[in-house]
Structure 1
């Protein structure tokens, strides 16, 4: 299937088949793909937590507002978090990045202040989301990206000390009666001239 066809078929799943689980081989592939996500200067200011354990998934679902039902039905939940301990992050890049990348951070990112540094780090995590959703679609998996979560509660439940959850993605297989799938509810997008220009 072409990437365009995948983009046309992919949608945010509202109802999952709770009886169908994603095979561990595909979960392992998604972990490897997320690890390869692009980020500015290869900064990788993130942590990804995969949850297949039903008890833990249920705790997180209860801290997810109107997303609770779909998380409980989904096979897995993946939580995307950004580094929020700047000192720890700087230690990481000092150990793993080449001098040019470290110099870029110190010359152009660090002088902007802690608030902007954290915003820059969060932006890198959002880059990984697009990578992840596309990979899942290529594997025939359905997904739902969700910012509707109680981030502090997620952090406490997962015991994250140096990372702040930003959003989560439910992962699994659509229920045949999910009314949001494109075959039942056509995708709605702005016309191309409204969002794309060419010169």
Structure 2
């Protein structure tokens, strides 16, 4: 198959070694920020925040909290994908105020949906809401990895870290946030053993089921 998009997806891999001497440009970083903002989320609520760390000393402090994975120290930036501590009535109301302001949608149209959503979330357990928010976050992760490939930015999604210690160090608790995914981004070091390894996938024929 000949496709520039597929070629770029073939090019990407979970980068294990970053070249610390190659920072991302502000333009590239802004593309990732915009991607995070534009990614689809359920109801459009965006129960997420993106924390961007570029300070070398702070990245070094994060390394032992990430089981000494060097990516967080050497990457140009460390993106930390976070969820809100909870979704309450005020959060949902603020969303509908934005809808009203951006689209000039009459309150008579928005209010029934707003009330239904508030009622729906009021019946959910905190654990259910947290899982729902995490699901939304993984949508943004997929979008970020795809855009990284298109923009020739290297990345390595990391779940192996200590969230509570991250939250404490970065003061995320005070912001009502909880870290879920760590995503170092930058440019690969040519010494990375994984650069030239073939991508291993089950294959389209095995993964895709067509129903005609």
Fold similarity call, TM over 0.5:
yes
The answer on 1:14 being equivalent to 2:16 is yes
Structure 1 stretch displaced more, 188-197 or 50-59? 188-197
Larger radius of gyration: 2
1:18 touches 1:73 (CA, 8 Å); kept in 2?
yes
What pairs with 1:51-130 in structure 2 (closer than 5 Å)?
A: 51-67=53-69, 69-87=70-88, 90-97=89-96, 98-99=110-111, 101-130=113-142
- Could you tell which deviates more after superposition, 19-28 or 165-174? 19-28
Secondary structure of 2:152's counterpart equals coil
TM-score (norm 1): 0.90
- Per-residue displacement from partner, 1:54-82 (whole Å, max 9, x unpaired)? 11111112210142x12111111000001
Cα distance 1:11–1:103, how it changes in 2: closer, same or farther (>3 A)? Answer: farther
Which shows bigger deviation, 106-115 or 71-80?
106-115
Aligned partners of 2:124, 2:21: CA distance in 1, in Å?
Answer: 49
Superposed, 1:35-50 pairs within 5 Å as: 35-50=37-52
Which residues of structure 1 form unaligned runs of 5+? none
Q: Displaced runs of 4+ in structure 1, greater than 3 A?
A: 98-101, 106-110
* Aligned residue in 1 for 2:197: 185
Q: What's the offset of the Cα at 1:145?
A: 0.3
Aligned residues: 194
Contact 1:37 1:127 in 2 (8 A): yes
1:176 maps to what in 2? 190
What is the rounded CA distance, in whole Å, between the counterparts of 1:144 and 1:100 in structure 2? 42
Q: 1:99: Cα distance to partner?
A: 3.6
TM-score with structure 2 length normalisation? Answer: 0.85
Q: Tell me: CA distance 1:123–1:107, structure 2 relative to 1, closer, same or farther (3 Å).
A: same
How far does residue 144 in structure 1 lie from its aligned partner after superposition? Answer: 0.2
